[in-house]
Amino acid sequence: IGGAPGSGKTTVSRLLYERFQSVLIDFGTLREFHLDDLWTKQSEREEQMAFENLTFILKNYIRNGYRRVLVNDLKDFRIQQIPEIFAGDDYLIATLVVYDDRVLRSRVLDPERDSGFRDAERALAWNRAVIERPSVRNEYKLDNTVNRPEETARKIMDLINSRII
């Protein structure tokens, strides 16, 4: 599950996790082994190490027969690497986008939000870049502006089930 901060990745991922009773890996949590949760010690080297760990974990799940492993909280450049890294595997990328800047800004700045990410301008730029770039192989961009998490999760479930993953 991809998308900018505030796009609904965490909420939708949790719903899918509950419905599929599958593995859910929040890359933000995995990244915290190397980085602090306020994003102040972020380095390219440590982020790369965390991504390599994630790749190893995912390939291990695949090797052991898991059919549905959910991952969220990847940066967009990582989403764009998935087709190359998992070229021989069956996967689906659901990228959530928000078409109203005011809505996304409000979500990012919401004090009740569970993420520590509060940089609305960076989230807006990220979201615009995701909307504007071409989709990668097996990626579906889903409008989550209205933020009906159950409906978005259902759309993703339908995509997964139609692919028989």
Residue 16 predicted with pLDDT over 70: yes
The tens digit of pLDDT for each residue in 135-161 reads: 999 999 999 999 799 999 999 999 988
- Residue whose token pair is 């021989």: 88
Statement: the pTM of the whole predicted model exceeds 0.85: yes
Range 57-93 burial, b when 16+ CB lie within 10 A, else e: ebeebbeeeeeebbbbbbebebbbebeeebeeeebbb
Q: For 31, which DSSP code?
A: H
pLDDT at 43 over 70: yes
Residue 165 has pLDDT above 60, yes or no: no
State residue 67's pLDDT score: 85
3-class secondary-structure state, position 23: strand
Q: Give the CB-side neighbour count of residue 158, counting CA atoms within 13 A.
A: 8
CA distance 146 to 163: 26
